[in-house]
Amino acid sequence: MKRILLVSSNITTEPYPVYPLGLAVIAAALAEAGHQPEQFDFLASGESEELLAAKIAGFDPDYVCVSIRNLDNCDSLSATGYPAIAKRLVEVIRKVSRAPVIIGGPAFSIMPEELLAYTGADYGIVGEGERLVCDLVRDLSQGKTSPSLLRSGVLLTGDEIGSPLYSDQMIGFYLEKSGMINLQTKRGCPHGCIYCSYPALEGDSYRCREPRAVVDDLERVKAEHGVESFFFTDSVFNDKEGHYLAVVEEIIRRGLSLRWCCYLRPEGVGRHEIALMKRAGLYAVELGTDAASDTTLHSLGKGFTFADALETNRACVAERLPCAHFVMFGGPGETMETVAEGLKNLEQLEHSVVFAFSGIRILPGTALLARAVKDGLVPEGANLREPVYYLSPEVDVQGMNDMITAAFQNRRDRVFPPAEGQKRLSIMHRFGYRGLLWDTLIKFPKESQC
């Protein structure tokens, strides 16, 4: 048995603090393999390097694992990069321990060679870590070495994806700050959006957990930790095969009283499905609309039209379900004409919140990077560790931003720039609100008394 300290380096609270689910999943796998895992959240510690050093001194780990969740905050107007935080934490670990440092997480897996060198960690885990971390700890403990400092492997099947081992202390922090805890029902994404890293990280097809296992987790976390509000972090909750409906029906069958939200693709989901999910506890939904005109939707490889997004919005309104659309302006194919068209289209999205972004973060291995190189926006082989954004050469960026600002002016349900939304949500949090918070910005018309 080895003592293994798991450290979450994520400090972003935009739009709300998110429980480090990957840490909990790795902790469960290590515990099942007979090890003693301990979880430390840098955000929950108040970003205290002193508390991390004290934790290491008290726990005396044989190995320390550091997770990098995000490369940046995806806001071109106030870009913030996060790998430097992981680098700092590795330096703190080095000062107080000789334990090998293993680094992983979604952001790390996007550019593993570069971030391994940059952070100074000893080993890196690329992709899903449950099995890889256990294998690496076993090999290192037995004195086995490998010419590669990076470990990667095949994706787990849905049945192999285990339940997370949550930390009661960390759950307390996130319930106080955001009021909800994360859970996954499946991994992977079959959609070919040109900017997205999900298929590279989790595979290009869904790997679904057994619905009963998912609801077992919900039931257990509610009973053991008092959690009643969840966020399903699937890349897309509503798969065409209907796995999501099986999860929903299992929640209803058990009579489990919960509140939850999720990401939906605004396609192929109508009022019937919305009503069923709402009956199971869905109280708000975040829609990956991503662009506001058919031209830009096509350029991003979304595979649906704005009419689909509008139809989904209408279904949500009919069921009085708060929904938010996240839309990026300035991507491939964007012109000042499509910006104007997109803003006009957004006016049709009644009783919903719209969060707008200027530019799209360029990530390694995506089709968007190839497009950016072709368009002369970044050179071949550009360093992408720090935030780099695609902004269409056919738009005047300041003019585009001014158009969005003017269209959203004096509307509580329209948010731009992203920092403005964070400011509003922070004020609400100080007044004691918990949860998504944006759902409180929506006012539905009064229901008829007839």
Confidence of residue 434 (pLDDT cuts 50, 70, 90): confident
pLDDT at residue 248 greater than cutoff 70: yes
CATH of domain 3-158: 3.40.50.280
> In the chain, where are the structural domains located?
3-158, 180-441
Residue 446 has pLDDT above 90, yes or no: no
Q: What does the pLDDT look like over 156-204, one tens digit per residue?
A: 999 999 999 999 999 999 999 889 999 999 999 999 999 999 898 999 9
The DSSP line for 258-324 is -EEEEEE-SSS--HHHHHHHHHTTEEEEEEEEE-SSHHHHHHTT--S-HHHHHHHHHHHHHTT--EE
User: What's the DSSP call for residue 417?
Assistant: S
pLDDT at 148: 81
Task: Count how many Cα atoms sit within 13 Å of the Cα of residue 112 in the half-sphere of its side chain.
Answer: 19
Given pLDDT bands bounded at 50, 70 and 90, which one contains residue 38?
very high
How far is 28 from 40, CA to CA, in rounded Å?
14
From CA 102, how far away is CA 99, in angstroms rounded? 9
How buried is residue 77: exposed, middle or buried, by Cβ count under 10 Å (0-12/13-18/19+)? Answer: middle
Mean pLDDT over the full length of the chain: 94
pLDDT digits over 375-422, tens only? 999 999 999 999 999 999 999 999 999 999 999 999 999 999 988 877
Q: What is the dihedral of CA 321, 187, 309, 298, to 10 degrees?
A: 170
Using the CB atoms, write b or e for 278-315: b if 16+ within 10 Å: bebbbbbbbbbbbbbbbbbbebbbbebebebbbbbbbb
- Pair of tokens at residue 71: 């490369």
Q: What is the pLDDT of residue 436?
A: 83
What confidence score (pLDDT) does residue 431 get?
64
Q: Residue 448: its pLDDT value, please? A: 57
pLDDT at 202: 93
pLDDT tens-digit readout, 43-54 = 999 999 999 999
Q: Give the pLDDT confidence of 280-299 residue by residue, as tens digits.
A: 999 999 999 999 999 999 99
pLDDT band at 13, cuts 50/70/90? confident
Structure token pair of residue 66: 């550091």
Residue 16, pLDDT above cutoff 90: no
Cα gap 123→131, rounded to integer Å? 15
Q: Taking the CA of residue 291 as centre, how many other CA atoms within 13 Å lie in the half-sphere pointing to its CB?
A: 27
The model's pLDDT over 312-348, given as tens digits with 9 standing for 90+, comes to 999 999 999 999 999 999 999 999 999 999 999 999 9
Which tokens belong to 135?
């294998």
Strand-pairing partners, residue 8, are: 41, 67
119, 86 Cβ separation under 8 angstroms = yes
pLDDT at 12: 86
pLDDT of residue 433: 72
| Structure-model confidence comparison of residues 78 and 7, the more confident one | 7
- pLDDT tens-place string over residues 207-224: 999 999 999 999 999 999
The confidence score (pLDDT) of residue 147 equals: 64
Residue 290 bridge partners (DSSP)? 327
- What is the per-residue pLDDT for 450? 44
Q: What is the dihedral of CA 4, 55, 225, 107, to 10 degrees?
A: -60
- Using one digit for the tens of pLDDT, what is the confidence trace for 345-386? 999 999 999 999 999 999 999 999 999 999 999 999 999 999
Pairing of strands 353-358, 259-264: unpaired
- Domain 3-158 matches domain 180-441 at the CATH topology level: no
d(C-alpha 194, C-alpha 176), whole Å: 36
Helices 243-254/211-225 angle, 10° precision? 50
> Tell me, what's the pLDDT at 338?
98
CATH superfamily of 180-441: tm_1862 like domain (3.80.30.20)
